[in-house]
Amino acid sequence: MDFATFVDRIFIRLSGIMDNYGENELILPYSLMYRKSYIKMECDLRTVKFQTNDQPIIGLLGQVRYYGDVTRYLPYIDLGSQTHIGKKTSRACGEYTFEI
Q: How many domains does the chain have?
A: 1
Binned at pLDDT 50, 70 and 90, residue 92 comes out as low
Domain assignment present for 75 = yes
pLDDT score at 46: 92
How far apart are alpha carbons 67 and 14 in whole angstroms? 24
Note whether residue 100 is domain-resident.
no
In the chain, % of residues over pLDDT 70? 92
Q: Has residue 97 been placed in a domain?
A: no
Residue 98 lies in a domain: no
Please return the burial class of 6, using the count of CB atoms within 10 Å of its CB with bins 0-12, 13-18 and 19+.
buried
Q: Is residue 52 part of a domain?
A: yes
pLDDT tens digit string along 37-48?
789 999 998 998
Domain of residue 73 covers: 3-91
Mean pLDDT, residues 12-31? 80
